[in-house]
């Protein structure tokens, strides 16, 4: 293969990749609408200012990497928070997942498993008892434990679903969220993103991190 042909193949591949990405961005932003798209762009800009202020002397890619690593370990000295005034504005746009707290409404032991049902739910979930923990202890702990549960999916993730088939990163993210269920753990989320060794210049990567790891007021 001649050098000219090789360069041409690389160029065509690059242009095709950029075209596909541009199509995905248009589809995503079309689902969001202009106001939500502008709001998310603003959030990304504010997030990168936060990175610049809190991870000095590093390139932007390294700042993203360090942020995810520290968040996954629970070691952030200052959490990323959208300002209260901006959050009020963004909440009106329904950008974010909405969360509430739930606890087990009914807990019982069937002779093999400790079973429980969440408040306002009819799905039975089960715990396998450990030999060194009494059944009564497991039942009491399950009754008293309070969980944070996603109750309404944000428009940001609904827009990502429109490119689920075309974008492997988005597909992996949404599949992971589904596997985790409605119970949301930012440390887990950051850890998964950190382990993926992402391209932090990517349009969707920036938005997934800035939206998904914000410490909601």
The pLDDT score that the predictor gives to residue 207 is 93
Please tell me the distance from the alpha carbon of residue 130 to that of residue 137, in angstroms, as a whole number. 11
The answer as to whether 197 is a domain residue is yes
Whole-model pTM over 0.75: no
Number of structural domains found in the chain:
2
146 and 158 belong to one structural domain: no
Could you tell me where the DSSP H helices lie in 59-202? 60-73, 84-92, 135-144, 155-160, 168-180, 186-195
Please tell me the distance from the alpha carbon of residue 206 to that of residue 67, in angstroms, as a whole number. 12
The pLDDT score that the predictor gives to residue 183 is 54
Please tell me the distance from the alpha carbon of residue 40 to that of residue 215, in angstroms, as a whole number. 15
Angle, alpha carbons 148-153-155 (nearest 5°): 140
Residue 104 half-sphere exposure, CB side, CA atoms within 13 Å? 19
Domain end call among 109, 134, 150: 150
Place of tokens 């988005």: 170
Record the tokens describing residue 203, joined without a space.
């349009």
The 10 Å CB-count burial string (b at 16+, else e) for 85-101 is eebeebeebebbbebee
Structural domain range at position 111:
100-150
The pLDDT score that the predictor gives to residue 20 is 53
The answer as to whether 84 is a domain residue is yes
Residue 212's Cβ-count burial label (10 Å; 0-12, 13-18, 19+) is buried
The pLDDT score that the predictor gives to residue 182 is 53
Mean pLDDT per 10-residue section of the chain, whose length is 217 residues:
37 37 92 96 96 88 93 90 90 85 87 86 81 84 80 89 90 76 70 86 92 73
The answer as to whether 217 is a domain residue is no
In sequence order, the 6+-apart residues with CB closer than 8 A to the CB of 194 are 65, 68, 69, 72
30 and 78 belong to one structural domain: yes
The pLDDT score that the predictor gives to residue 28 is 95
24 and 91 belong to one structural domain: yes
- Four-residue CA torsion sign, 215, 180, 176, 130: positive
76 and 172 belong to one structural domain: yes
């Amino acid at each position: 293969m001649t050098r000219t042909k090789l360069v041409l193949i690389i160029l065509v591949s690059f242009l095709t990749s950029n075209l596909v990405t541009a199509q995905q961005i248009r589809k995503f932003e079309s689902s969001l609408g202009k106001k939500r798209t502008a709001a998310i762009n603003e959030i990304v800009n504010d997030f990168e200012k936060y990175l610049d202020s809190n991870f000095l002397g590093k390139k932007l890619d390294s700042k993203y990497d360090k942020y995810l690593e520290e968040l996954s370990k629970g070691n952030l000295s200052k959490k990323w928070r959208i300002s209260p005034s901006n959050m009020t504005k963004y909440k009106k746009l329904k950008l974010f997942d909405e969360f509430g707290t739930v606890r087990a409404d009914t807990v019982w032991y069937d002779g093999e498993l400790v079973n429980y049902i969440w408040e306002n739910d009819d799905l039975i979930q089960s715990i396998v008892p450990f030999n060194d923990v009494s059944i009564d202890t497991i039942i009491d702990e399950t009754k008293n434990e309070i969980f944070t549960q996603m109750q309404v999916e944000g428009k940001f993730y609904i827009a990502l679903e429109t490119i689920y088939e075309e974008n492997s990163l988005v597909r992996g993210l949404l599949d992971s969220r589904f596997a985790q269920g409605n119970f949301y753990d930012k440390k887990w989320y950051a850890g998964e993103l950190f382990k993926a060794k992402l391209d932090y210049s990517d349009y969707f990567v920036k938005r997934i991190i800035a939206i998904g790891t914000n410490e909601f007021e």
